[in-house]
Amino acid sequence: MKRWFGFGTTALGAAVLLTASGSVLAQTKGGDVVIAITQAPPSLDAQVTSAQAARNVTLQIYETLYARDENAKPVPELSEEAKISADGKTYVFPIRKGVKFHNGKELDAKDVVASLERYRKVGASASLLSAIDKVTETGPHEVTVTLKDVQSTFLDNLSSPRAPIAIYPAEEAAKPANQINYIGTGPFRFVEYKPDSHVKIARYDGYVPNPKATGRDGLAGKKEVFLDTVTFRFMPEAGARSAAFEAGEVQLLETVEGATAKRLESDKRYVVYKVLPFAFQVIKFNHAQPPTNDVNFRLAVQAALDMEEIMAISYPDINQIDGAWLYPGAPFYTKTGTEKYNQADLNAAKALLAKSGYKGEKLTFIVDNLRANTDTATVVQQRLKDIGVNVELSVADWPTVSKIGFTPNGWQFWAHGYGIEPYEGPASVMAPWVNGTSQLKKDDKIDSLSAALNSAMDEGKRKEIFVEFQKHMYDNAVAMKAGNYGLFQVGTAKLKNFKPYRIPRMWGVWLEP
Amino acid sequence: MSRFLVKRLAGAFVVLVLVSLMSFAIIWLVPGDPTAAFLDTSATPDQVARLRQQLGLDRPIAMQMLDWYARIVQGDLGHSILLNRSVTAAILERLPVTLSLAGLALAFALVMGVLAGIVAAVHHNRWPDQLVMSLALFGLSVPDFWLGIMLILLFAVKLGLFPTGGYVPFSEDPFGWAGTIIMPALTLAIIQVGFVARMTRASMLEILNQDFIRTADAKGLKRAEIMLRHGLPNALIPILTVGGIVAGALLGGAVIIEQVYSIPGVGRLIIGGILSRDYPVIQGGLLFLAVIYLTVNLVVDILYAVADPRVRLE
């Protein structure tokens, strides 16, 4: 564990040095960067999809009223600020003046109102705005949002990059889902989308940066573009991606396997980046089925598992052993309540199992065909065999598994990653367990904690609530967090000042000839 | 001839109805739907239900099936959920890519396979025969996706002779097109070269043992003339049959090769459709491939009569 945190500190130091040195290097304008991504975005209508493949592209084209800074804290982007009324129900957003859409039109309150209203109707995460009572244009550059009830996480929601609440021109926002022209206010403008091939974006020379921003800062901050164009090439085959990279046709690989990263690391022509943490590896229980509906059974499994083993096999060289349900460094991050994490205690597990109603029946572990997830399932299967639990793996593609995993029958265990939720913060981490969505049985404690978190305006109180949630997750083994994992990204050494983040940010970077 | 055509077309129609039924049924039997591509695992049941409604997936299956048949009789293969365009347009956009890939691969397979088969037959049981047959066996055995990656590593990464993948339309840049299509076509053809070579060799050996070949030899005709004027035309019927099978196999194989070389063709469209459960794309794509396959087979049957006048299509 120490080794990892040690490495993380070194990597962070290196990243800081890299960023610092970047500012004194001569910046070169021009060039096309080709980024190999594993799959095509399902849509470039940012509001209607929460797919990572879409975010990679759309967050370069569109902007939001509030966006997340480097530490995922909401900060103003297209809005100058948020004036919150004393009762916490009214938010007044003065809209920045002089901001231009890619079609040359100036952003005003009408665009913001139309975009928020559209999101409430067709947004992929429309529940982010479910607290809104009404959105009103209260001036040419002012929008007032009235909430039905106090929602402490409203600015968190408004700035969520999951399915971004992108601001479109009003005429585009009047169109149905997936029917818009791709026009935003971001530092890049849309150029072309060739299905099954690529998306191309180009520097928007009319971009008006946020005057208050000083440097690159998460998904907000100063967005200065040096590149002429960026091409996202859809390359599903890993071998083809790295071949294209080594042949010089691609300048950045969005994700590579550890073995490829290791091989390329020793070559001075390339730079390997670690995006760690990028997600949690979570093993879910189906609370609607025996024996995983039995808390003693779940606690037995929790006691048995060796998380270091799971993470070392599933994500070699790119994992962190950490039981907290937030990323290290996040404002609400705490290890309190995680004492039952990574016990690897087979005797305790057997004792708990004896108290459960498990009678040796065969249990189903559903998992998609992503190598790391099947590895996790396999390690869990072998470990549980040691305490006499009989687990069978059922591997299928993602649409199949994700369909079964939200139905109460046909599975007991399911492993997959959670990436964006911990980035967004405590409310998003709790959300999948509210109303029993993920565990398929309502958990009143989680529901009440979530409601309390959403209504508590006091930060100290919210932190307490989150600790209680974390403790509840472990005391009841609602689900198990195996650890944090990351991504290896590889870029050409000619790509300067690149700093990995949740999306490959293409502002602030340049290509050396 | 016309009676033959009517009979074959009626048979093709039945096959198409079966293909459409099966493609519809298989899709609905496999769990999952397109919402998985749009939403992440934190999506609430309400969000999923709303998206299903927006996409028209909440209607009864029978209604969706009737709609699908009503559309295909009008030549409309439906509307892609993810591409947000008509399936017909999506296929037609990608068709030239797949046809040029499969067409070039067919040319490679037939030319190289027939030549190799003739060489093997002429040098029957001698080293050229053994060499050709060993290479043919290698071609038949090697997985095409592995061969594709090896060729990329050698010719694109190490030697820099070809790009690693992608596609340039012929109309934009003929040299660029050749650069992007030759290596994938060769990869796709390798398995079929072995198949055609073995078939040609067997067919030629059978013909070369016939009396009329011995007579031609006794007459003092040159070896090459015997082969090309008397041997090959008579060996052509089985090769034509193989050609039909190969054309179908190449269309199927293109699905994998398009993935390996990142070529935006019909195969990649269908794979993408399957992975994201874009039902109209899968159904339309399968139906379209079935039409092509049936057409190729029909053309091969007609070519029999051209190659051998003794064959009566009626």
pTM of structure: 0.83
Is A181 in the B-facing interface, judged by CB distances under 8 Å?
no
**What are the DSSP calls for A28-73, one per residue?**
----EEEEEESS--S-S-GGG---HHHHHHHHHH---SEEE-TTS-
- Rounded to 5°, angle at Cα A374 from A372 and A376: 70
Which of the four pLDDT bands, split at 50, 70 and 90, describes residue B41?
Answer: low
Cross-chain residue pair A428–B42, CB shorter than 8 Å: yes
> Is the dihedral angle over the CA atoms A184, A188, A194, A198 positive or is it negative?
negative
How much is the pLDDT for B15? Answer: 87
Main-chain dihedrals φ then ψ at residue A3, nearest 5 degrees: -55, -40
Give residue B273's domain range.
87-307
Residues of B in contact with A244 (CB under 8 A): 164-165, 262
pLDDT above 70 (res A13):
no
Q: How far apart are CA A222 and CA B257, in angstroms?
A: 43
The answer to whether B298 and B309 are in contact (CB under 8 A) is no
Domains in chain B, number: 1
The answer to whether A114 and A168 are in contact (CB under 8 A) is yes
Q: How far apart are CA A234 and CA A344, in angstroms?
A: 41
pLDDT above 50 (res A1):
no
**Closest by alpha carbon to A57, among A74, A42, A72?**
A42
Main-chain dihedrals φ then ψ at residue A373, nearest 5 degrees: -70, -40
**What are the DSSP calls for A430-479, one per residue?**
HGGGGGGTTTSS--HHHHHHHHHHHH---HHHHHHHHHHHHHHHHHTTSE
A&B contacts, CB < 8 Å: 144
The identity of residue A323, as a single letter, is G
Cross-chain residue pair B45–A437, CB shorter than 8 Å: yes
How much is the pLDDT for A307? Answer: 98
Which of the four pLDDT bands, split at 50, 70 and 90, describes residue A3?
Answer: very low
How much is the pLDDT for A25? Answer: 59
| Most confident of the following: A19-33, A463-477, B122-136 | A463-477
Any domain includes B140: yes
Q: How far apart are CA B138 and CA A433, in angstroms?
A: 54
Q: Which of residues 61-100 of A touch B (CB under 8 A)?
A: none
Any domain includes B283: yes
The identity of residue A183, as a single letter, is I
Any domain includes B268: yes
How much is the pLDDT for A395? Answer: 95
Q: What is the mean pLDDT of residues A91-109?
A: 97
Select the residue of B47, B268, B276 nearest A42 (Cβ to Cβ): B276
Q: Pick the residue from chain B with its C-alpha nearest to A180.
A: B84
pLDDT above 90 (res B225):
no
How much is the pLDDT for B7? Answer: 82
Which of the four pLDDT bands, split at 50, 70 and 90, describes residue A20?
Answer: very low
pLDDT above 80 (res B163):
yes
Pairing of strands A252-256, A32-37: parallel
Q: What is the mean pLDDT of residues B215-236?
A: 83
**Closest by alpha carbon to A253, among A498, A16, A460?**
A498
Q: How far apart are CA A256 and CA A274, in angstroms?
A: 10
Select the residue of B31, B167, B260 nearest A403 (Cβ to Cβ): B31
Q: How far apart are CA B235 and CA B205, in angstroms?
A: 9
Show the tokens assigned to B112: 């190289």
How much is the pLDDT for A502? Answer: 92
Q: What is the mean pLDDT of residues A18-27?
A: 53
Any domain includes B51: no
Residues of B in contact with A249 (CB under 8 A): 163-164, 166
Is A284 in the B-facing interface, judged by CB distances under 8 Å?
no
| CA-only gyration radius of chain A, Å | 23
A77-86 own/partner pairs: CB under 8 Å, 24+ apart: A77/A159, A77/A210, A77/A220, A78/A107, A78/A112, A78/A167, A78/A185, A79/A143, A80/A212, A82/A155
B147 three-class SS: helix
- If you ran DSSP here, which 8-state letter would residue A230 be given? E
Beta bridge partners, A232, equal A35, A199
The C-alpha of B259 sits at a distance from chain A's nearest C-alpha, in angstroms, of 6
pLDDT above 70 (res A478):
yes
**What are the DSSP calls for B74-112, one per residue?**
TT---B-TTT-SBHHHHHHHHHHHHHHHHHHHHHHHHHH
Which are the contacts of A478, defined by CB distance < 8 A and separation ≥ 6?
A285, A287, A298, A433, A439, A443, A446, A472
Omega of the bond leading into A328 within 30 degrees of 0 (cis): no
Is A255 in the B-facing interface, judged by CB distances under 8 Å?
no
pLDDT above 70 (res A7):
no
Show the tokens assigned to B19: 């293909």
Any domain includes B96: yes
Any domain includes B70: no
Show the tokens assigned to A103: 């079609």
Is A47 in the B-facing interface, judged by CB distances under 8 Å?
no
H helix or E strand, kind and range, residue A487 = strand A479-492
- What percent of chain A clears pLDDT 90, i.e. is strictly above it? 84
- Rounded to 5°, angle at Cα A273 from A272 and A276: 140
Show the tokens assigned to A28: 């070169």
CATH of the domain at B168: 1.10.3720.10
pLDDT above 50 (res A324):
yes
pLDDT above 60 (res A5):
no
pLDDT in tens, A55-79: 999 999 999 999 999 989 999 999 9
Residues of B in contact with A51 (CB under 8 A): 37-40
The answer to whether B140 and B191 are in contact (CB under 8 A) is yes
**What are the DSSP calls for A98-148, one per residue?**
T-B-TTSPBP-HHHHHHHHHHHHHH-TTGGGGTTEEEEEEEETTEEEEEES
Q: Pick the residue from chain A with its C-alpha nearest to B276.
A: A399
How much is the pLDDT for A121? Answer: 92
pLDDT above 70 (res A420):
yes
Which of the four pLDDT bands, split at 50, 70 and 90, describes residue A248?
Answer: very high
- If you ran DSSP here, which 8-state letter would residue A176 be given? P
Is A435 in the B-facing interface, judged by CB distances under 8 Å?
yes
The answer to whether A495 and A16 are in contact (CB under 8 A) is no
Main-chain dihedrals φ then ψ at residue A26, nearest 5 degrees: -70, 130
pLDDT above 80 (res A24):
no
Any domain includes B220: yes
Q: What is the mean pLDDT of residues A7-18?
A: 41
Domains of chain A: 2-243+494-511 (3.40.190.10), 277-486 (3.10.105.10)
